[in-house]
Amino acid sequence: MMAIRWLVMIMCFCSLMGNGQDSTEVKKTEEYYATLFTTAVMAINPLGEYIVLNDSNQYGKNDYKLYHTASKKTDSIIKGNEYIFLTEKDMLIQSLGKVSFMNVQTKAVKEIQGNGEVKILKTKNKISVLLYSTAMKTLSCYTEKGVMKWSRSGVEMFEISKDQSFAMYSSGNQISITDLDTGREYFRPFSVSGSISWLRAYGDTLYAYAAHGEGGKLYVSSKKGLVLQEIPVEMPQGFIAAGHSWNEMKVNDHRYLFVPLSKKQPEKERGKADVIISYTLKSGRAAYQLPVLGMYDLKERIWTWKPGESGNIAQIMLGEKGDFLIYDNDEDIIENQSNPLLNIQMVRSYGESINDLGKLRIAKGNYYWDEPEQVLIFFQNAEWWCYHVKTLQKHQLLESKGQKWGSDRYLGQTDTPIAEIIPTAQPSKIIVSGAYDLFLVDLKKHHSERLTDGEKNHIKYSAIHPEGQSINQNHVAGPVDLKKGILLKMFGEKDYHSGFALLNKKLKTWVYNDSNFTELIKTDHNLFAVSESYQRPLQVIRLAENANRIIFDNKMFIKDKVPDVKMELFQYTTALGTSNAVLLYPVGYDASKSYPMLVNIYENKSKDILYYSVPDLRAEDGFNFRHYVTHGYFVLLPDLQYQKGNVPEAMLSSLEASVKAALGKASIDYTNIAVLGMSFGGYETALALSKTKLFKTGSVGVMIADLVSMTFSNSDVLRQPNYARIENEQFALNGSPFEKWDQYIKQSPLYYLKESVSPIMLWSGLKDDNVSPAQTRAYFLGLKRLGKEAVLLEYPMEGHSMIGSGSSRDLNIRTWQWMEHFLKGKPAPEWIQPVKTKAPLK
């Protein structure tokens, strides 16, 4: 019945399209799309009895519901930004303007008005909620039921002790200490001079910094409120405390104060004109200086380390002690690399000694410091290296392991690792990530061992946070306890299967199948895996020793909404190797008929099918592939191949190979194929329309047309010249125009306009601060000068993508109309008709 319903609906759409997709047909399409939605997990209670879900789409749907896994029934729930289960039945809901406490069993709700900061406190099996209202300056503590335990007014700043036993807070120039459980004041407030900028508790010793003038005072007190010391701290000459970075201030070993410092800016002379001065022999980074941490010895009352007045010094902090790397950003005069090689020094023991390390990359993820063994691990030339500070010896960290350690991003030109070094709770033992596997390295014994064996089966293992993996947080923060095991994400690079495992002496796989597992939610009692994919909407699985069990399957809510969709993940081969591509079949596919195909390109597109989506006419790039498979198109999503210094040729070769492989798999009308892409994909699309004979038409968005003019322009987003992107990133030319002028011309779509297939649809946002809209317009003017069929859509209020709902809708509808006319022969809407009126070339 579901398939018949969809076929009838598609036939209705097709009959309407005979009128060139008039407003009635678009309206009917969007009315249907408005009934479709995707679902996300917001929270799961510890036993998995209740799940908070969000149903949303691009047409205003944004519904929250509480799902009972036993009864399989749902209830509406208060709309919120965050949902946190405090107990099995008690939940905290944070939303705009209020915080709500809800009992999911009785549905009783207690609301607390006001925006602010929320902290969950868990001590001795007792849960409390601390709410701070920035507007009302109140700090209040509540039980898990929403009953107020105590409250303080006039609170301007607060800090919670590490053991969560007390709160230290300031009110005016007074500091107080309150027991978090009882609300009892430990002592009468004591006063400080100046404005309190920072508070911190280390054990029972309390620190407060009060700024005044160009310096300040650090107050050291006991938990009982006895002021032990009042230490004046004068800023180094030429520097001021960076007030916007107070959260970086800290005290180490109860002796060394870390202060964020910024260069003092010269006062503007009265009547002096505003002018920006740039020099060819001076780095442009000088205008963008970040704060650095100076170190002040509270005992000796001296700065043990402070940046010099000259240069633009930047820091990479190493560990929790006073060890860090420094480099001068002003050394990068040319600015042609996003991760430049600069002279780096290592400052140790709070400024006690400095070692020159030579020229190394400046990315923070390229370094790890092992303080016990005094070993600096650094990444250079696609390998991990060890530098022994005591002996000044350097050697490779992992030799003859047969794995690749460097990231493939931009063909490895940025020289960054696949993943950062992961510390463990065991002294001087670290985990290193390879292309597929993890390795445990003992820096003391100079020994390494392979922890996983995924390479032979093309399964990539990566460590995830000990508390689980979320959509927004995949990295490992803090040491991994090897005795408790390492949580791992598994991903099949060829078949796109995925899952989770625990490595504890032996590898134990919890779940691994053809789903795309996006989250691992860990509660006090259970583990829950969340999955979705192109063919499978959201599922939640409770992982168990005996057998995993699905506790939520979104198919039950959308069984009449989205049809079965067919797709094929396949590999194609060129001289550069083997890559993946995905072919999406049109709904209701009939092998006896032929269908047009759209090829969407931008680097690697095949992994777009890892996530469940619904059709709409609101995509930011004008292309929702679900919409097109719904309306009788094949969609090809290839992973394209690249080669340093030869990006277009390698890309075009792989594009042709992927299209030809797709043509051999299904009934595709090879005379009606279009290519679409935006940004770098727009650049690739324009080349494909000139350099291949595969495509009848194309949609080119926010493109790069001329590499020379693009090179000699600035990126407002990256705050550096664009030639970094051209030489050492996506375009990989590996040299300047002065060294490779012919290559720059050869690889620019603008110079192949005579050979370009037309008609072409171009679009851009006139407020684009990533790629200048002048690039797309130059390409359009070239087509215009040649008298070729093309149209340019410019959106005055949009940037690099269509964020506004009106603009995105317009672009989606026009793209659809364009493809319907040029690939299916439907009558041209009024706005397309002038495209087909050719002007003579003069």
Could you write out the DSSP letters of every residue in 318-335? Answer: ETTTTEEEEEEGGG-SS-
Average pLDDT on 33-51 reads 95
Which residue in this structure is represented by tokens 């969950």?
A: 120
Average pLDDT on 29-47 reads 95
Could you write out the DSSP letters of every residue in 124-184? Answer: TTEEEEEEEETTTTEEEEEETTS-EEEEEES--EEEE-TTSSEEEEEETTEEEEEETTT--
Q: What is the pLDDT of residues 343-354, one digit of tens each?
A: 999 999 999 999
Which residue in this structure is represented by tokens 């060394």?
A: 256
Q: What is the pLDDT of residues 43-75, one digit of tens each?
A: 999 999 999 999 999 999 999 999 999 999 999
- Edge-to-edge strands, sheet with 215-222: 195-202, 205-212, 215-222, 227-234
Distance CA 218, CA 254 (A): 12
- State the pLDDT confidence band at 791, using cuts at 50, 70 and 90: very high
Phi/psi of residue 794, nearest 5 degrees: -115, 130
Domain match, 588 and 633 both? yes
- The CA distances from residue 451 to 461, 477, 567, in Å, are 10, 20, 34
Q: What is the pLDDT of residue 22?
A: 63
* Stretch among 275-289, 298-312, 397-411 having the lowest mean pLDDT: 275-289
Residues 6+ apart with CB under 8 A from 648: 687, 691, 746, 747
Domain match, 686 and 725 both? no
Average pLDDT on 251-259 reads 96
**Residue 355, CB half-sphere, CA atoms under 13 Å: how many?**
17
Could you tell me if residue 23 is inside a domain?
yes
Q: Which residue has the higher pLDDT, 156 or 18?
A: 156
Q: What is the pLDDT of residue 25?
A: 84
Which tokens is 642 given?
A: 């690249």
- State the pLDDT confidence band at 18, using cuts at 50, 70 and 90: very low
Q: What is the pLDDT of residue 115?
A: 82
Domain match, 575 and 713 both? no
Q: What is the pLDDT of residue 8?
A: 34
- 838 has pLDDT over 80: no
* Stretch among 34-38, 273-277, 499-503 having the lowest mean pLDDT: 273-277
Domain match, 733 and 700 both? no
Could you tell me if residue 759 is inside a domain?
yes
Domain match, 613 and 720 both? no
Q: What is the pLDDT of residues 388-398, one digit of tens each?
A: 999 999 999 99
Let me know the angle formed at the C-alpha of 290 by 319 and 347, rounded to the nearest 5 degrees: 35
Average pLDDT on 240-261 reads 93
Domain match, 579 and 648 both? yes
Identify which of 703, 647, 650 has the alpha carbon closest to the alpha carbon of residue 675.
Answer: 703
Length of the chain: 842
Domain match, 589 and 608 both? yes
Examine residue 759 and say whether the peptide bond preceding it is cis (omega within 30 degrees of 0). yes
- The DSSP output letter for 839 is P
- State the pLDDT confidence band at 290, using cuts at 50, 70 and 90: confident
Domain match, 607 and 735 both? no
- The CA distances from residue 343 to 329, 393, 712, 724, 768, in Å, are 10, 18, 26, 19, 35
- 255 has pLDDT over 60: yes
Identify which of 378, 335, 342 has the alpha carbon closest to the alpha carbon of residue 358.
Answer: 342
Could you write out the DSSP letters of every residue in 358-388? Answer: EEEE--GGGEEEETTTTEEEEEETTEEEEEE
Q: Which domain holds residue 583?
A: 2-33+561-706+748-836
Strands 527-533 and 536-543: antiparallel
- 513 has pLDDT over 60: yes
| Integer-rounded Cα radius of gyration of the chain | 30
Phi/psi of residue 680, nearest 5 degrees: -60, -35
Could you tell me if residue 96 is inside a domain?
no
- 840 has pLDDT over 90: no
| Residue that terminates a domain, selected from 693, 722, 744 | 744
In terms of phi and psi (left: phi > 0; alpha: psi -120 to 50; beta: otherwise), the region of 164 is left
3-state secondary structure of 302: strand
Distance CA 290, CA 283 (A): 15
Q: How many domains does the chain have?
A: 2
- 610 has pLDDT over 70: yes
- 839 has pLDDT over 80: no
Q: What is the pLDDT of residues 219-244, one digit of tens each?
A: 999 887 788 899 999 999 999 999 88
Q: What is the pLDDT of residue 68?
A: 97
Could you tell me if residue 7 is inside a domain?
yes
- Helix then strand count (H, E) for the chain reads 11, 56
Distance CA 654, CA 601 (A): 11
- 216 has pLDDT over 70: yes
- 829 has pLDDT over 90: yes
- State the pLDDT confidence band at 204, using cuts at 50, 70 and 90: confident
Q: What is the pLDDT of residue 475?
A: 56
- State the pLDDT confidence band at 583, using cuts at 50, 70 and 90: very high
* Stretch among 608-617, 650-659, 715-724 having the lowest mean pLDDT: 715-724
Share of the chain above pLDDT 70, in %: 95
Q: What is the pLDDT of residue 285?
A: 76
Helix, strand and coil percent figures for the chain, each rounded to 5? 20, 40, 40
- Please give the sequence-ordered ranges of beta strands (E in DSSP) within 383-535, or none if there are none: 383-388, 393-396, 422-423, 429-433, 438-442, 447-450, 459-463, 468-469, 486-492, 498-504, 506-513, 516-522, 527-533
Domain match, 662 and 770 both? yes
Q: What is the pLDDT of residue 309?
A: 82
User: With a threshold of 0.85, does the pTM exceed it?
Assistant: yes
Q: What is the pLDDT of residues 307-339, one digit of tens each?
A: 988 889 999 999 888 999 999 999 999 999 989
Domain match, 757 and 673 both? yes
* Mean predicted lDDT score pLDDT of the chain: 91
- The CA distances from residue 613 to 40, 243, 246, 520, 626, in Å, are 11, 44, 42, 20, 7
Q: What is the pLDDT of residue 476?
A: 63
Which CB contacts under 8 angstroms, 24+ apart, belong to 801-805? 801/620, 801/621, 801/678, 801/702, 801/765, 802/619, 802/620, 802/621, 802/622, 802/765, 803/620, 805/58, 805/618
| Residue that terminates a domain, selected from 693, 724, 744 | 744
Q: What is the pLDDT of residues 157-169, one digit of tens each?
A: 999 999 999 999 9
Which residue in this structure is represented by tokens 């503590």?
A: 141
Residue 285 amino acid letter: R
- 692 has pLDDT over 90: yes
Identify which of 214, 226, 219, 205 has the alpha carbon closest to the alpha carbon of residue 170.
Answer: 219
- State the pLDDT confidence band at 842, using cuts at 50, 70 and 90: very low
Could you tell me if residue 76 is inside a domain?
no
Distance CA 615, CA 803 (A): 17
CA 102 to chain centre: 32
Average pLDDT on 751-778 reads 96
Query: Please, what is the end-to-end C-alpha distance for the chain in angstroms?
Result: 59
Phi/psi of residue 16, nearest 5 degrees: -70, -30
- State the pLDDT confidence band at 505, using cuts at 50, 70 and 90: confident
Could you tell me if residue 604 is inside a domain?
yes
Domain match, 664 and 616 both? yes
Q: What is the pLDDT of residues 446-494, one digit of tens each?
A: 999 999 999 999 999 999 988 777 655 555 667 899 999 999 999 999 9
Q: Which residue has the higher pLDDT, 579 or 186?
A: 579
Residue 309 amino acid letter: E
Distance CA 32, CA 12 (A): 12
Could you tell me if residue 143 is inside a domain?
no
Which tokens is 21 given?
A: 């997709």
Instruction: Read off the CATH number of the domain in which 788 is found.
Output: 3.40.50.1820
Report whether 488 contacts 502 (CB < 8 A).
Answer: yes
| Residue that terminates a domain, selected from 719, 744, 769 | 744
Distance CA 819, CA 605 (A): 20
Domain match, 700 and 582 both? yes
- 806 has pLDDT over 80: yes
Distance CA 718, CA 55 (A): 35
Could you tell me if residue 284 is inside a domain?
no
Average pLDDT on 290-294 reads 93
